[in-house]
Structure formats: structure tokens, C-alpha cells
Chains A and B, each alone.
Chain A
């Protein structure tokens, strides 16, 4: 996605009103997002179909009750909140492109940083959807709106999460929107309109995942979560999963489209993942050492997760898969020769991505509830409804991510200008 050249100023200096050009810009985005090759249409149609399956499953769940999920009073959060947690990390992970691009003026990264920002937008939308489908009464959503309802801020960490997630969405919409709009107008973006916001987004990215970790680590009754290491762990794994996703995206774009991507940007991200994946593993090991060496009843959840408890071992295969994937990915990332093959790099990224997804979701949210606070063991595996809704939200997220890239790339390259 290299810029063609510094955008030339508009041929005529007529000061056209933003009231005219901005709607035109939005219309152009819609048109660009809906134009594409047959393969693009096939891809988007498939994603739309999966999204609709998810929407239908959710609507049925709202009508008939959350009895359609496998969640119980013992395991009261499941696949939805697991995915929510992971995807908050994905959104925060985009910041690992923003830091080199804006703080260290990494030119190659600067050209593709919008990918990270668009990913953040898509990911936050997915997060909000995952929270919504987890609500027993989505019709009462307005109770959470400040002003209309009763917003238990600043006591409830969930209200903090609502603020930081929506704030992060707005920040990234502003950055992407501003850069695209000025490019659309053929003007040079003014630093003062986006640079402070970009710096804010760096802190904000850290805050969204810290707050999400605090949701869990603040609960004294859940020993598996009640750890000061949770927020750093979340950040480390987010900075594995986010860059891994973007690396694969860049390879896909290089292969399937005429978007040119500087391999240096990929290399920067590979170097970041090399470090973060080791930090993440180190923190997992620290957590496990502290738990298991000291022992006691507080480690029941960890014991259930890794070895099974009283004959219940539903999550054991999940967590060892995650550990295996993370270790293999770490070894691959560390090996210099492996990193020269795009295929192997992509494989390592997929391993790391899936590994973190399990580790944070089925490997952290679910075992927090097993055994229950009264030490009853009720196991959990997602129902078909939950899988359908989850697939639907992922498809919808990919759908808007693809559409945004489809619309953003021609504008950034200066191919699409205000008439």
C-alpha cells in the first residue's frame, strides 16, 4: 500500500464546504466497499451468509432464553465472553503498528499502519457484539446509557470497559476517517488534527485490555483470575495475537491483491512477536509456578484446567493444545531461517493466534468458574447456538474489516479523489 506520491493539491482552489464533500466521501466509501472482483463478492457473500446464521441463532436465543446456550449458574460466562476477551486483545494489538509507525517513524510501517487501525475498529465492533449477545435482556440496553439509564461508574469495571471500548472505537474511527478524508480531498493531513489522537490511542489501547483484565482480576471469589499478573498477561498475549493477525493479513493482501506491502513492515511485526510471545510464555510459567508450588484449594481451577479434577477433565485437551501451539510458534518465531518463508511465518502466526485464543478464552474465562465458588464441578462446552452466534460475529467482523480495506486502499493510493 505505498502512497503513489505526495497528494497533489486540488486543481481548483474553490473552498468546497465539508457539508458537501463529507457526505460525498461517505458515499464514495460505500461504493468502493461494494465494488470488487468476483472473488471479493464470493467472499463477502459467504461472510454475509454466516453472519445471518449467527443473527438468526441470536434472535432465537433472545426469544427462547439463554437456556439455548450451555451456560449454567455454575459456569455463567462461556464462549461469548471468552471471545470478547480475546478480541479486546486483538483490538489492542493494532497498537503495535502504531508505535513503530508514529513514535519511531518506521516508514514501511507508516504505509500500512491503517491496517492496524481498521483492525481495531472491526475488533471493537465484534467486542460490542459479543457483549450484547451475552446479555439476558438486550432490550434493556439503554439502561447502560449515561443520562438515560443508571451508569454505575466509576464503581463497576464493566462501565469502565464500556467507556474505554467505545472511546477506542471513536479514536480509531477519527484517525482512519481523518486520514482518508484528507486524502480524498487531496490535502495533506494536518498533524495537529491526528497526532495527539494517535498518541492517545497508544495509551488507550493499553487501557482497553487492562480494564478488561481488571473485570476478572478484581473478583476476590475467583482465585484463578484474582491475580495481579492478569493484566500484563493479557497485554502480552494481545501483542502476540494482534500482530500475528496483521502479518497474515498483509501476506494475504500481497498475494491476492495488487496492494504493495513493504516486507520490512512484516519483519518489524515478526520481531515484535518474537519478544511478546516469550514474555507471554514467561508470565504463564510464573503464574503456574506460583499456583502449583504453593498448592492448596485455591489452585483447584488451575488443577482442573491442566490435569482435571475428580475425574472431570473437559478443558485439559484445550489448554495443552494452546500451550503446544504457543511453544511451537515461539520456536518458529525465534528461528531465523523459518522467518524467511512466508508460508512458515503465516503458519507460526496462525499457531500463535489460535494458541492465544484458547489460552484466554476456554483456558481462562471458563475454568474461572470450575469448580464453582462452592467447589461444585459443572463442566461446560459450548452449545450449537453459541457456536453459530460466535461464527456469525467473527464473519461479521471479517466482513467489515474486508470492506473497510477495500474502501480505504484506493483512497490512500490517491486513486479516489473528490471530483
Chain B
């Protein structure tokens, strides 16, 4: 055991001070190098305003604060794209729970729904992003392993059927359970929504979803100004920021005003049926009562509000 104490002033002033000087230079250089290394962050900070950084969770905003946030988002949209857009914050209609069904005997896999979703919801043009994927499936099997989304031949092909998959708006949504910051939740009308201004982009929900329904903004979406759909909703189709999650919201900016979703209107085969599950006289209830419907991956217990049937 040594009693040597290098910090005592008597233990040689010069080496310590020279060393201290070297350390000081080293620290300065290191800090400078670190500042230079992380300088690309400055580009990002110019894009994220202080108001956006400080913004509270959607559910914690008062009416006035929401209006203020929406005003800001509209102003930012105008500034960034030069396009005048209207962002609204439609509330769920009381007494409504949405259900969706697809007639797989009619669907021929033409993909018009995929494209309609792409245009309606201001998706990234570079990746043909859409909330819908259509699988070409082997007739006589529900095994997705035998499916394929990249088919580009004339449809319908011999011995195939077509399975469009989008968010199933589960009643027991695994994506909502796993979110660490409650950035995604299930609304009164059954729609699972995302607060794009609250999501931290951890992508746990994307890992948890059994239906490949979630999409991540790996970069800021590219939508030419003239193609932007200016009729937007805060929780739905406003142009998403970079680095956050998004998903099918049953076109809530349309459906909460009584309109049909864009994918349904675009379907040339009439395979899509949408409506209010709480209305016993609705089309969707008739389908559930009269067709042999099934849900995808029922064994996982996700309880989808999205149904399929053959007829």
C-alpha cells in the first residue's frame, strides 16, 4: 500500500500542470470534434419548431390548444409545400363503431383500393406507399405463405384469390398495448389512431402488429404540392412528419362525416362493405348475419373489426 498522493501540491507541480494543460487541450479538441460530429443535428432542429417540440399529447390538449396546433400545422404545410390545406379534428360520432368487410369472391386483386388509399392519404410518392397490401393467394388455402403481393400479371389469375389486408382495427390491439408513450390508442368508434406529433418512432407497434398494418416514415414523405389532398384530418391523412408511425384510420376524416372510405369508393368490383356495427339495419350487420365471415389470424385473439367472406 502506497501513501503516495499525487494530488498533493508537493508531489511535483510541473508534471501535473503540464499534464493538466495537455488534458485541457485534449478535452477542448474532443468537445470540438464532438460538436462537429453531431452538427448534422442542426439541420433537424431548424425543421422542428419549439412549439412542436413542446406540444402535449392529443388527449391532453384543450379545445383551444388543439385549434392552435392545427393553425400551426396548416401554416407549416403552406410554408413547406405552398399548398393551402384544411386540417380538421373530427371527433367520433356517438353511437358508431365502424366495421369493414371484404367479399373475397368478388375481389380480383386489381389494386385500385391500394392506389386510392395512396392518393387520399397523402402517401409518399417514391415508394407507392399505401395502407393496403393485396395478397395473391392460392385457392383452397388461407396460408399466407403461399401468398404473394408482388404479382403484376392480368388478374384474376387461374386458381388464385385475392386478399387485401389493411389495419383490422382490432378490439384487442397488440400495437396499442405495446406503445410506451400512448401515442396510439383506440377511439370510441373503434378506429386505432396515431398522434403523429407524439410518436417517438420506436416501432414496437410495427413489430407487434400481426397484420403488417403499420408503416414507418423512414424519411419525410414526398408528395408534390399539386397532388396533395388538401382535405385533411389531424389524426388521419395530414402529411406525416419524418420518423413517426402511421396506419390505416378508416379514412376518419371522411367516415366521421358520414362518407365512405376512399378504398371502398375506388373498388371496381364492389367487394368492400363498410358501416356502423352498432346499427342493426346497416349493410355491415347484414353481411355479418348472412354471410359466413371469417377474420384473419383469429387464434391470436386480436378481435378484428375487419371481416372477410366468400360467397
A135 touches B144 (CB 8 A): no
Does B135 reach chain A (CB closer than 8 Å)?
Answer: yes
- With A297-B145, A371-B145: A140-B200 Cβ-Cβ less than 8 Å: yes
- B: residues with CB less than 8 A from A are 1-2, 4-8, 19, 23, 30, 33-34, 36-41, 43-44, 48, 53, 57, 60, 133, 135, 143-145, 147-149, 165, 174, 177-183, 198-204, 206-212, 214-220, 241-245, 297, 300-302
A-chain residues with CB within 8 Å of residue B206 when the two chains form the complex: 73, 76
Bound Cα distance from A374 to B38, whole angstroms: 38
Bound Cα distance from A375 to B142, whole angstroms: 12
- With A56-B40, A151-B180, A373-B210: A415-B218 Cβ-Cβ less than 8 Å: no
B202 touches A221 (CB 8 A): no
A162 touches B1 (CB 8 A): no
A150 touches B203 (CB 8 A): no
Does A286 reach chain B (CB closer than 8 Å)?
Answer: no
B219 touches A419 (CB 8 A): no
Bound Cα distance from A222 to B210, whole angstroms: 7
Interface residue stretch chosen among A28-36, A264-272, A335-343: A28-36
A-chain residues with CB within 8 Å of residue B36 when the two chains form the complex: 56
Bound Cα distance from A155 to B174, whole angstroms: 10
Does A206 reach chain B (CB closer than 8 Å)?
Answer: no
B300 touches A59 (CB 8 A): no
B1 touches A137 (CB 8 A): no
B180 touches A65 (CB 8 A): no
Does A63 reach chain B (CB closer than 8 Å)?
Answer: yes
B177 touches A156 (CB 8 A): yes
A221 touches B183 (CB 8 A): no
Q: Give the tally of cross-chain contacts (CB within 8 A).
A: 193
Which residue of B37, B143, B245 has the most chain A CB atoms within 10 A of its CB atom?
Answer: B37
Interface residues on A, range: 35 or more
B-chain residues with CB within 8 Å of residue A55 when the two chains form the complex: 34, 37-38
A48 touches B198 (CB 8 A): no
B-chain residues with CB within 8 Å of residue A297 when the two chains form the complex: 143-145
B-chain residues with CB within 8 Å of residue A419 when the two chains form the complex: 5, 7-8
B-contacting residues, A336-363, CB 8 Å: none
B200 touches A135 (CB 8 A): yes
Bound Cα distance from A374 to B131, whole angstroms: 13
A137: contacting residue among B174, B207, B244, B297, CB under 8 A: B244
A-chain residues with CB within 8 Å of residue B244 when the two chains form the complex: 136-137
A152: contacting residue among B48, B180, B209, CB under 8 A: B180
- With A48-B30, A297-B143: A62-B44 Cβ-Cβ less than 8 Å: yes
A373 touches B209 (CB 8 A): yes
- With A144-B181, A150-B57, A151-B180: A136-B34 Cβ-Cβ less than 8 Å: no
B200: contacting residue among A31, A74, A141, CB under 8 A: A141
A-chain residues with CB within 8 Å of residue B203 when the two chains form the complex: 76-77, 134, 136
B-contacting residues, A9-65, CB 8 Å: 28, 31, 34-35, 48, 52-53, 55-56, 58-60, 62-65
Does A219 reach chain B (CB closer than 8 Å)?
Answer: yes
Bound Cα distance from A4 to B241, whole angstroms: 60
B38: contacting residue among A56, A141, A219, CB under 8 A: A56
- With A139-B44, A219-B207, A419-B5: A66-B198 Cβ-Cβ less than 8 Å: no
B220 touches A35 (CB 8 A): no
B-chain residues with CB within 8 Å of residue A136 when the two chains form the complex: 199-203, 216-217, 242-245
- With A136-B203, A158-B178: A52-B37 Cβ-Cβ less than 8 Å: yes
Which residue of A53, A55, A74, A157 has the most chain B CB atoms within 10 A of its CB atom?
Answer: A55
Does A314 reach chain B (CB closer than 8 Å)?
Answer: no
B7 touches A155 (CB 8 A): no
Given contacts A65-B218, A134-B203, A137-B244, 16 further A-B contacts (CB under 8 A): A5-B1, A55-B34, A56-B36, A56-B40, A64-B40, A66-B218, A137-B200, A138-B200, A139-B44, A140-B199, A144-B200, A218-B178, A220-B174, A221-B211, A221-B297, A376-B148
Bound Cα distance from A5 to B1, whole angstroms: 7
26 CB-based A-B contacts, threshold 8 Å: A5-B1, A28-B7, A35-B19, A48-B30, A56-B38, A59-B39, A62-B41, A67-B219, A71-B218, A77-B207, A136-B203, A136-B216, A136-B244, A136-B245, A137-B243, A143-B57, A143-B200, A150-B182, A150-B198, A152-B179, A152-B180, A152-B181, A156-B180, A221-B208, A297-B145, A376-B149
B180 touches A158 (CB 8 A): yes
- With A144-B180, A219-B207, A374-B149: A415-B2 Cβ-Cβ less than 8 Å: yes
Residue of B nearest to A297 (CB): B145
B-chain residues with CB within 8 Å of residue A66 when the two chains form the complex: 201, 216, 218-219, 243
Bound Cα distance from A371 to B147, whole angstroms: 12
- With A143-B200, A144-B181, A221-B300: A65-B243 Cβ-Cβ less than 8 Å: yes
- With A52-B34, A137-B244: A158-B210 Cβ-Cβ less than 8 Å: no
Minimum Cβ distance to chain B for residue A136 (Å)? 2
Bound Cα distance from A419 to B4, whole angstroms: 11
B216: contacting residue among A48, A76, A138, A215, CB under 8 A: A76
Residue of A nearest to B27 (CB): A34
A-chain residues with CB within 8 Å of residue B245 when the two chains form the complex: 136
B-contacting residues, A101-145, CB 8 Å: 131, 134-141, 143-144
